[in-house]
Chains A and B, each alone.
Chain A
Amino acid sequence: MNAASTLRILVIDDNRVRVSVIEAGLRDAGYDRVTIIHDVTDIARRIGEIEPDVIIIDLENPNRDMLEHMFQLSRAVKRPIAMFVDRSDTASIEAAVAAGVSAYVVDGLRRERVKPILDMAVSRFRAFSRMERELEEARSELEGRKVIERAKGILMKSRGLSEAEAYALLRKTAMNQNRKIGDIAQSLVTAAGLLGGDL
């Protein structure tokens, strides 16, 4: 039996897409006793039921202070200790903080068993943020292109330019003003809207 599979892991995160990415990563790595919590309401009772060995929480979660405090109180979990992997293991701590993930180890779990879990969570968080960034870039690029098309149309209609000339004018203005071509296009579209008419 895979030793990893005996570990109970609780992931607290209200971002369902991200959490499913992390969960998949943990399962791929052989951790199949993974519980996901989206909402921290009544979390003390849930932790008491689940008795996790490791809790992974996202740094964006404003309830981190609450969770730490709960571990110190030792009500929800038996003999709990709140740790961030290991005080001495600064490299993995730094990697986790940089990636936006925080891990709590509940009770006397050895570092060599926690490290791969945290490494997995860190790499999955990174993968998720990259995915999100790419999505955002694709979206804004698409938006930008639409605005440029509209701006070109306005210039073609109002100044009688060809499409190539309209684009060249936008580009030249952007360069002269040291601004992005999309910003120039947006200003033009806004101005045209304010001036009215179907420019």
Chain B
Amino acid sequence: MPLLDSALLVVAREKGFAEAEGIELRLVREISWANMRDRMAVGHFDVAHMLAPMPIACNLGLTPLAVPTHVPMALGLGGNAVTVSNALWRRMEDAGAKPDLDPALAGRALRAVLRERAKAGDPVTRFAVVHPHSGHGYELRYWLAACGIDPERDVEIVILPPPLMADALGAGHIDGYCAGEPWNSIAVASGVGHIATVKAKIWRLSPEKVLGVAAGWAAENPHALDALLRALYGAAEWCGNPGNRADLAALMAEPDYVDRPAEWLLPALTGDIPTGSGNSVLVPDFLVPHAKGATFPWKSHALWFYSQMVRWGQIPASDQNAAIARETYRPDLYRSALKLLGVALPGANAKVEGALTEATPVGSAGASLVLGPDGFFDGGVFDPGSLEAYIAGQTGRS
């Protein structure tokens, strides 16, 4: 998909990491996530750049025409933002929002604006996300709900493909959206929107895209899968090197990939985000391709997405469904492919999300691994060992 977080796949091919592992990586640009899923189902694709919750939705049978899908690797952390129209931003500023990307402040202002609008009988405020089973959808809802906004009642959430977001915002069809980069920076650069907050501030070091692998293909081609994971690991290291940013922006700007000017891709790579108010904010960990275990498929990430699917009524809570979500992410495949490289491999398969308030070295095989700080902006903590209690404590749709 034409998104910056497809970079690991692009770099694996273009910078020779795939070739060095003896695999031929053919990349196809797709136009919708539904196409990607359908073409994987009929065997056109073996592996794909996928929204992190998408393989879970496939395995839970939430989406039509899905095949069993593994997640043996994540393709980085962070990278999204919430952009609002100029008109909505002006009202949010009047209600106390600052161009500092702080989610609590922006959320409080948005809540005030929504109340005024409801009182005045204005049409409901409409946000777009890219897919019903997306990190964007869940983080937008999490942010809204934590700020006292009911995402089911106080706003309307619709689906739009990322390349159409800025145009829809400019045309007044939507009032805001949560999408991956560069589609927020493009709205700012073309003057149609303001970035209100970012994924990395809603949930720091949160999962975004993963490698989805057709289970049938993985079973028949274990060596090719291992080689692919090693190639992607090499690509992630390359992408994480600040010295390669300009090169990476130029590569991703090409017509076969994101097909937009390189300067629009740079904010996400440097984390220096122009908000649309004439300033820019340096966001730590805006997009993390490699450091801090960014490619490890944490089962706690899978279970958090599952908890949100339950929260928003997409799936009933059951031990069986939780097990399907947990087993979708495959750290075992990650470890077995990468162990020969001598790189840092976490000792655990899951972690308590939001527990680290500072950078912390953790137990790992091979080189040392530093994780965190991580966490949800509202101080929430997700302990995958207390899944049922977490689900029970969520305020869901009313």
27 contacts between A and B (CB under 8 A): A59-B32, A60-B31, A61-B32, A62-B32, A63-B161, A64-B32, A64-B34, A64-B35, A65-B32, A66-B158, A66-B159, A66-B161, A68-B34, A68-B64, A69-B131, A69-B132, A72-B132, A83-B65, A87-B64, A87-B65, A90-B42, A93-B65, A94-B43, A97-B39, A97-B44, A98-B42, A102-B38
Asked whether B163 lies within 8 Å of A62 as measured between CB atoms, the reply is: yes
What DSSP secondary structure best describes chain B's contact surface? loop
Most buried by A among B33, B38, B64, B132: B64
Interface residue total, chain B, C-beta cutoff 8 A:
24
Going nearest first, the 8 A-B pairs with the smallest beta carbon separation are: A62-B161, A64-B32, A66-B159, A64-B34, A69-B159, A94-B42, A84-B65, A62-B31
With the chains together, A61 CA to B35 CA distance in Å?
Answer: 9
Q: B residues near A, CB below 8 A? A: 31-35, 38-39, 41-44, 63-65, 130-132, 158-161, 163-164, 173
Q: A residues near B, CB below 8 A? A: 41, 59-66, 68-70, 72, 82-84, 87, 90, 93-94, 97-98, 102
Tell me the smallest distance from the CB of A123 to a CB of chain B, in Å: 18
Asked whether B130 lies within 8 Å of A65 as measured between CB atoms, the reply is: yes
Closest A residue by C-beta to B132: A69
With the chains together, A107 CA to B269 CA distance in Å?
Answer: 45
Closest B residue by C-beta to A97: B42
Q: A60-B31, A63-B32, A68-B64 are in contact. Are A84 and B38 (CB under 8 A)?
A: yes
With the chains together, A66 CA to B164 CA distance in Å?
Answer: 12
Chain A residues with Cβ under 8 A from B39's Cβ? 97
Asked whether B38 lies within 8 Å of A65 as measured between CB atoms, the reply is: no
Chain B residues with Cβ under 8 A from A97's Cβ? 38-39, 42, 44
Contact of B131 among A61, A65, A87, A98 (CB under 8 A): A65
Closest B residue by C-beta to A62: B161
Asked whether A65 lies within 8 Å of B159 as measured between CB atoms, the reply is: yes
Tell me the smallest distance from the CB of B262 to a CB of chain A, in Å: 23
Chain A residues with Cβ under 8 A from B161's Cβ? 62-63, 65-66
With the chains together, A102 CA to B31 CA distance in Å?
Answer: 13
- Known pairs A64-B34, A82-B64, A102-B38 / 17 extra A-B pairs, C-beta < 8 Å: A59-B38, A60-B31, A62-B161, A62-B164, A63-B160, A64-B31, A65-B130, A66-B159, A68-B63, A69-B132, A70-B159, A93-B38, A94-B42, A97-B38, A97-B42, A102-B34, A102-B35
Asked whether A59 lies within 8 Å of B35 as measured between CB atoms, the reply is: yes
Chain A residues with Cβ under 8 A from B132's Cβ? 68-69, 72
With the chains together, A84 CA to B66 CA distance in Å?
Answer: 10
Chain B residues with Cβ under 8 A from A70's Cβ? 159
Tell me the smallest distance from the CB of B154 to a CB of chain A, in Å: 17
Chain B residues with Cβ under 8 A from A93's Cβ? 38, 41-42, 65
Closest B residue by C-beta to A105: B64
With the chains together, A64 CA to B130 CA distance in Å?
Answer: 11
Chain A residues with Cβ under 8 A from B130's Cβ? 65
With the chains together, A59 CA to B160 CA distance in Å?
Answer: 15
Closest A residue by C-beta to B43: A94
Tell me the smallest distance from the CB of A111 to a CB of chain B, in Å: 14
Tell me the smallest distance from the CB of B33 to a CB of chain A, in Å: 5
Asked whether A61 lies within 8 Å of B65 as measured between CB atoms, the reply is: no
Contact of A84 among B33, B64, B160, B163 (CB under 8 A): B64
Chain B residues with Cβ under 8 A from A59's Cβ? 31-32, 35, 38
Chain A residues with Cβ under 8 A from B160's Cβ? 63, 66
Chain A residues with Cβ under 8 A from B44's Cβ? 97-98
Tell me the smallest distance from the CB of B325 to a CB of chain A, in Å: 19
Chain A residues with Cβ under 8 A from B42's Cβ? 90, 93-94, 97-98
Closest B residue by C-beta to A104: B64
Tell me the smallest distance from the CB of A102 to a CB of chain B, in Å: 7
With the chains together, A116 CA to B384 CA distance in Å?
Answer: 49
Closest A residue by C-beta to B62: A72
Closest A residue by C-beta to B137: A69
With the chains together, A61 CA to B32 CA distance in Å?
Answer: 8
Tell me the smallest distance from the CB of B251 to a CB of chain A, in Å: 23
Most buried by B among A64, A90, A98: A64
Chain B residues with Cβ under 8 A from A90's Cβ? 42
Chain A residues with Cβ under 8 A from B31's Cβ? 59-62, 64
Chain A residues with Cβ under 8 A from B35's Cβ? 59, 64, 102
Tell me the smallest distance from the CB of B117 to a CB of chain A, in Å: 21
With the chains together, A30 CA to B252 CA distance in Å?
Answer: 48
